[in-house]
Each structure stands twice: as structure tokens, then as C-alpha cells.
Amino acid sequence: MTSNLIALVAFVFAFADVTAAQAEVAQGSPEPAAQTSPSGAKRFDMSRRAHDFTYASNSTVLDGFIQKQVADSWLDLKPTLKSLEAPFETLPDPLLNAMRTQVRWRTSGTATRSDPDFIKEYNAATGVLAANEVDVEKLMLERRKIIAHNNSIGRGPNLEKLGTAIKLPGYIVPLALSGRVVTEFLFVPVAGSCVHTPSQPPNQIIHVDYPGGVEFKSIFEAFWIEGELLAESRVSDVVFYDGKSNVESAYKLNANLVEVFMP
């Protein structure tokens, strides 16, 4: 079964019992449904949640009492980027602030650079830097190199996480489905991330193989996954009721555990 048909079947399962959302896949152009959970359940954004939490006993106030216990979260899957101020960080504060003014001036629009107060601030900063023989152009060149470097790695994997065992909460976008059992899927931090474009960046999407399979009911149901995190650049073809998306993932995980998210 192709990934297109799999995704369409998954959508039908997710919305089959909902009479209020009449946007099932049909012959011809489908109508988009509301981007909320058909069951009325909250669409938790899991991207800032670590795998170990302390919860209040009352689960109805879960969001208000979650406390992060470890720093193993979705944000940790993003690579560490170098500070754009790294070329200036050794300068004393007056010169550092003058370089910040230089950056603001060069990255501002014409209207902002026409402001008399800003012009005065820029001229003062330029004078201070010149008086102290600071090579502004050299520092700005170093800053541009950092920008280019950050752009080149910003969507890729965090190399420090590769080969480590992780446990993360998130949501399933099915790729291989037999009945209601999914054995291959994309794992994302926000429900419906790959269903509605644009999707999450590749380093916030994990391609998961789970031969044992897990029952799949809805793209809005949260799960835990556990296994070894590996690098794998992959593009998956995902089609749902409101469009088609070629989704790029930066990670692969051969899961040894997939279970429904429980507090």
C-alpha cells in the first residue's frame, strides 16, 4: 500500500466517528476540516516537554503543573548554534554596545535609518569604534561567516545526540498501516505537524520503524517513543485531506518502545 493511501486511510480512522467534522476523504477535491482535535481533546505542544516529569495528582490541570526534570526534550534535537556576537564578545562593554549599534544599523530598513536619534547613535558608535581602532568590517565579516555556518547546520541533526538512547513524547504520522496498526511512521512534537504545511524542520521529525506495531486511532493522540537515535536524511510522501507534503526528516529511530502518552 502506498504512503498516499496509508495516509488517507489514517485520516478516515481519525475522523470516522465524528459527525461534526464532515471532511472525510472523498472522490475528487476534499474539503478541509477544522484544525482542532475532533474528539475535543487538547492539542498539546510537546516540543518543550522532557521525558521525565512531576505531575499534580489532578490530571485535569496537567498543563499548569508540569515540571521539567531533565533536559532531554525536542529542543535538544536541534544543533547548538554559534552566537552571532562571538566575534565581539571579547570587546569591553562600550565597544560591544557600539558594535551592536553597527549591526542594528546594517540590518535595519531605510525608514529606521532615517530616524534622527538612531542616526546620532550610529554616528557616535562609529566614532567610538574608530577611536579605539576596532576593525568593524573584519568583525562584520566574521559575523556573516557565523550566519552562513548556522544556516548550514540549523536544520540538521544534533551530532551530540546521535547514538544515544532517548525517550520522547510526541505524535504519530503513519507511513505503514495495516488495519489500525502502524509499524512505520514519522514522529513529531506537535499534532498534525506534517498534515498542514509548512511542516516542522527536519531535526524536529523522526522516522520510526516499529515492527511490533502499535494501535493508531488519531493524529491527535500522543505517544511515548524510546530507542537509539540515528542520523538519516529522508523524504517521506505524506498526503492527508487538505493537501500533499514531501516531509523531510533528519533522524531515524528503531523503536524498542511505543506507548500511549500517560501522565
Q: List, for residues 29-77, the tens digit of each pLDDT value.
A: 333 333 343 343 334 444 444 433 333 233 333 333 333 432 347 888 9
Alpha helices in 132-252 (DSSP H): 136-153
Per-residue pLDDT, 241: 58
**Residue 44 counted as domain residue:** yes
Do 66 and 102 share a structural domain? no
Residues 68 and 104 in one domain: no
Q: Which domain holds residue 115?
A: 86-153
81 domain-assigned: no
**43 and 124: one domain?**
no
Shared-domain flag, residues 129 and 219: no
Inform me whether the pLDDT recorded for 89 exceeds 60: yes
More confident residue, 192 or 158: 158
Note whether 145 and 241 are same-domain residues. Answer: no
Is residue 224 in a domain? yes
Domain identity same for 111 and 72 = no
Mean of all residue pLDDT scores within the chain: 75
CA atoms within 13 A on the CB side of 234: 18
241 and 120 in a single domain? The answer is: no
The residue out of 153, 171, 199 marking a domain boundary is: 153
What is the C-alpha separation between 67 and 45, in angstroms, rounded? 15
Per the domain annotation, does 240 fall within a domain? yes
Asked whether residue 250 is assigned to any structural domain, the reply reads: yes
Which has the higher per-residue pLDDT, 166 or 132? 132
- What is the rounded (10 degree) CA torsion for 78, 79, 80, 86? -120
Determine the average pLDDT of the residues in 171-189.
89
| Beta strands 243-260 and 206-215, pairing class | parallel
Instruction: Give this prediction's pTM.
Output: 0.66
The 10s digit of each residue's pLDDT in 204-249 is 999 999 998 999 988 888 888 999 999 999 998 886 655 667 889 9
Residue-level pLDDT at 218: 85
Which H helix or E strand runs over 53?
strand 53-54
Query: Both 55 and 184 in a single domain?
Result: yes
Instruction: Give CA–CA dist 37/243, Å, rounded.
Output: 18
Same domain, 135 and 246: no
Which CATH number fits the domain that encloses residue 12? 2.40.50
Q: How many distinct structural domains can be found in the chain?
A: 2
- Based on the fold, state whether residues 44 and 93 are members of the same structural domain: no
User: Do 63 and 29 reside in the same domain of the chain?
Assistant: yes
Whether 19 maps to a domain, the answer reads: yes
